[in-house]
Amino acid sequence: MDVQVDRDLIRSEREKRAWSQEHLAGAAGIGARTLQRIEATGVASYESVRALSAALEIPVDELRADAASPAAQQVAPARLRFALRWLGTAVMLATLAGVGGFLLLHDYQKVRVLRTFEQWVTAEPSLDAANRANGR
């Protein structure tokens, strides 16, 4: 089972000790690529979290990200940016095509267009899109 962890805490504790990712991975008994993924995404298996907790001498509860953490709060702005981007695209297309073009569509076509837009807005933003929006 995957666990959300405070990736900033892991990185700061590693850097505070002047450890490389490879050194921490070795001390924790996990792969270096696994540690890179954990620091990049904030997602880890429970076993990896326990290993990092032991290596860094930090309780597991402190490594886990709670709902009030900054990492969890970044999901909402990413989703909002995603929705606003699509809304802006839809407004631009509607302006270019004109409202008359939409009104000329048959009812079933209008429903299809609106459902497609709704799916775009409610879809989970991809990790790549969120990283590009955050400038990473």
Mind listing the pLDDT tens digit for each residue in 78-116? Answer: 777 877 888 888 887 777 766 666 666 677 777 787 788
Q: Which three-class secondary structure state does DSSP give residue 67?
A: coil
pLDDT of 71 > 60? The answer is no
pLDDT band at 68 (very low <50, low <70, confident <90, very high): very low
List of domains in the chain: 2-66 (1.10.260.40), 74-133 (no CATH)
Structure tokens at 6: 């405070």
Confidence of residue 39 (pLDDT cuts 50, 70, 90): very high
- Per-residue confidence at 12, pLDDT binned at 50, 70, 90? very high
Report, as an integer, the average pLDDT of 38-45.
92
pTM for this model (two decimals) = 0.49
Pick from 65, 62, 26: which is nearest to 44 by CA? Answer: 65
Over residues 129-135, mean pLDDT: 58
What's the longest Cα–Cα distance across the chain? 66
Per DSSP (E only), the strands in 26-105 are 43-45
pLDDT value at position 21?
Answer: 93
Locate 15 and state its tokens. 């850097």
Helix (H), strand (E) at residue 4: strand 2-4
Q: What is the DSSP string of 89-112?
A: HHHHHHHHH-HHHHHTS-HHHHHH
Alpha carbon separation from 124 to 14, 23, 97, 117, 118 (Å, rounded): 31, 35, 28, 13, 12
Q: Supply the mean pLDDT for the chain.
A: 80
